[in-house]
């Protein structure tokens, strides 16, 4: 566009000069023919310059956003593969991208899970965060994730963003926010941050943590780790948290299992 704007004054001057030639009264036929030829050449030159400038201008313009992939709710392995393919394309071609997560109505935990997976995989792959952006889209009947290739510094104008509210209804009953035996996606962070976000957004709500373990040592180690994150790292008041221990001897379970309850 800059090249086109720079060319416009030049073209105008050429056309103005050509017009002035047509207004002059020729004294001889030879002069008239020369003047007409000169006018034609100048006009043709002006349009050639204008055409070249337009070509340069449009070649310099960034292309529009391109939808690369779209998927609904899937398992971690499939989702991880799709993100790998996407960021590899961005890396290979020095491109920028956006991942838009359209959440499901009244399914905050599921929506946050895909956001957590997305950020976790990007962090795990150590991809440049300045070249990829995770966007919260509007809420609908189903979860949907779109992968967009976007020009640098541009936004997707038709994407309706939405702030997923962590505010809970006053009439909601106690519920398990997450049953944590380790993340569904390996090597990704736990969902404790989102649990803390919900508690902090609802000052009257309390957090009940049911820790199941095979030994007292399992209880103590897990309790220290969880409280360190919730209280020290994410600033949830200790008085709003209550810990329950439950011994289990089921060999098929992990050494420790934690249920994170939200109690309004």
Question: Is 73 among the domain residues?
Answer: yes
pLDDT value at position 32? 45
Residues 188 and 143 in one domain: no
Residues 115 and 37 in one domain: no
Residues 195 and 144 in one domain: no
Question: Is 127 among the domain residues?
Answer: yes
How many helices and strands, by DSSP H and E, does the chain display?
A: 6, 8
Binning the chain into helix, strand and coil, the percentages to the nearest 5 are: 45, 20, 30
Closest-CA residue to 37 (of 53, 26, 49, 51): 26
Question: Is 165 among the domain residues?
Answer: no
Residue 72: which CATH number? Answer: 3.30.1330.10
Token representation of residue 144: 């949907």
Write the CB contacts of 180 (distance below 8 Å, at least 6 apart in sequence): 190, 191, 192, 257, 258, 259, 260
Instruction: Give, as one character, the DSSP assignment of residue 172.
Output: P
Identify whether the C-beta of residue 213 lies closer than 8 Å to the C-beta of residue 219.
yes
Identify whether the C-beta of residue 261 lies closer than 8 Å to the C-beta of residue 209.
yes
pLDDT value at position 44? 53
Question: Is 107 among the domain residues?
Answer: yes
**Number of compact structural domains in the chain:** 3
Question: Is 166 among the domain residues?
Answer: no
Question: Is 191 among the domain residues?
Answer: yes
Please count the residues of the chain.
Answer: 264
Q: Domain span at residue 123? A: 66-150
Domain finish residue from 10, 40, 60: 60
**Phi, psi angles (nearest 5°) of residue 99:** -110, 115
> pLDDT tens digits for the chain (264 residues)?
444 455 555 545 544 545 454 555 444 444 545 555 554 555 555 455 555 555 544 434 445 788 999 999 888 889 999 999 999 999 988 889 999 999 998 888 788 888 888 988 898 888 998 999 999 999 999 999 999 998 877 777 667 777 788 888 778 889 888 766 545 665 565 678 888 999 999 999 999 999 988 888 888 888 999 999 999 999 999 999 999 988 876 655 555 678 899 998
Residues 52 and 72 in one domain: no
What is the SS3 assignment for 180?
strand
């Amino acid at each position: 566009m800059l090249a086109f704007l720079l060319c416009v004054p030049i073209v105008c001057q050429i056309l103005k000069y050509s017009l002035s030639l047509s207004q002059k009264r020729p004294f001889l036929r030879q002069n008239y023919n020369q003047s007409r030829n000169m006018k034609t050449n100048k006009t043709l030159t002006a349009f050639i310059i204008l055409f070249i400038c337009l070509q340069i201008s449009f070649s310099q313009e960034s292309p529009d956003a391109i939808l690369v992939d779209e998927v609904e709710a899937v398992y971690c392995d499939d989702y991880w593969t799709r993100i790998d393919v996407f960021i590899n394309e961005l890396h290979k071609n020095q491109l920028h991208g956006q991942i838009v997560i359209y959440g499901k109505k009244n399914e905050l935990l599921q929506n946050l899970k895909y956001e957590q997976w997305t950020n976790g995989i990007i962090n795990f792959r150590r991809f440049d965060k300045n070249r990829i952006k995770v966007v919260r889209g509007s809420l609908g009947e189903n979860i949907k994730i779109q992968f967009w290739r976007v020009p640098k510094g541009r936004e997707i104008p038709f994407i309706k963003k939405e702030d997923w509210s962590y505010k809970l209804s006053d009439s909601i009953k106690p519920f398990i926010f997450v049953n944590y035996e380790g993340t569904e996606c390996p090597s990704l962070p736990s969902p404790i941050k989102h649990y803390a976000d919900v508690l902090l957004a609802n000052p009257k709500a309390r957090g009940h943590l049911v820790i199941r373990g095979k030994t007292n040592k399992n209880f103590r180690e897990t309790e220290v780790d969880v409280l360190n994150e919730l209280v020290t790292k994410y600033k949830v008041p200790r008085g709003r948290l209550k810990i329950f221990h439950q011994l289990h001897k089921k060999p098929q379970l992990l050494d420790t299992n934690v249920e994170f309850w939200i109690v309004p």
